[in-house]
Amino acid sequence: MESIPVKTEAEIKIMEDGGRILAKIIKQLEGMVKPGITTNQLNKAAEDLVFKYGAKPSFKNYLGFPAVLCVSLNEEIVHGLPSERKIKRGDLVSLDLGILYNGFHTDMAVTIPVDVNDQKISELIKVTKESLKRAIKKAIPGNAFGDIAYEVQSYIESQGFNVVRELCGHGIGKAIHEEPQVLNCGKKGTGPKIKEGMVFCIEPMATIGEWRIKKAKDGYGYETKDGSISAHFEHTIAVTKKGPKILTEI
């Protein structure tokens, strides 16, 4: 494995400024997620907002992806390609967006229920979000990346859901994907050691059904193999002397 990049305080400050912009954009997009809107309209709004804030989209043309925003519905887990598909009541909508600001990328994802009246789905969202919160607390100097993976997996599974094992988080900085891979399943104490100055994305993905995945019909996204509902949350985290710092929040 290549070495894991370490950022200076000044670089982390730039990423924090970018992360705050990203969080504001996501917040505005969340407010637009309503029955009747198309995923293309959300993508267009995301692009307008990214440029309005003086940033650039990270995902557009990355590995051929033609859109700015990933929009994944229901059984789709990540990297869903926007289309003319309309969001309807009962949908679970995951938005994933990365931006490039002053030479550094940040990345964030949220899952939004659209008038969902299903206890199990509400629980899935709550548990996935909580697993991210718990995993972030493990992002401290001296811990191993396996401690983050174990925290995500053990919590999600203890609540009766499954964690997607074939997709993971990642280091981030001058490139949208850097070392290391930040897994969502694993054993405590395994993997590289976490050091001050490392910046990475933790992104738990959980399903109501089994964890296996397949490629979506759009050729970019991934969905659950058994068609079960999934949720996805992501933050960009910096490791500091004082502990983990969430860069992607307002």
Cis peptide bond upstream of 57, omega within 30: no
Q: What one-letter code names the amino acid at 233? A: F
d(CA 157, CA 161): 5
The helix-helix angle for 119-136 and 145-158 (nearest 10°) equals 160
Helix or strand run (H / E) with residue 113 = strand 104-113
What is the domain partition of the chain in residue ranges?
9-246
Q: How far is CA 51 from CA 141, 192, 215, 224, in A?
A: 35, 36, 30, 33
Full-prediction pTM beyond 0.75? Answer: yes
CA 79 to chain centre: 10
Residue 98 is predicted with a pLDDT of 98
Residue 1 is predicted with a pLDDT of 53
- Over the chain (250 residues), what is each successive 10-residue block's mean pLDDT? 88 98 98 98 98 98 96 97 97 98 98 96 98 98 97 98 97 97 97 97 98 95 98 98 95
d(CA 223, CA 245): 31
Nearest to 213 by CA among 65, 71, 72: 72
Residue 2 is predicted with a pLDDT of 67
Helix or strand run (H / E) with residue 50 = helix 39-52
Count of positions (residues) in the chain:
250
Map residue 192 onto helix, strand or coil: coil
d(CA 100, CA 87): 28
Which fold is adopted by the domain 9-246?
Creatine Amidinohydrolase (3.90.230)
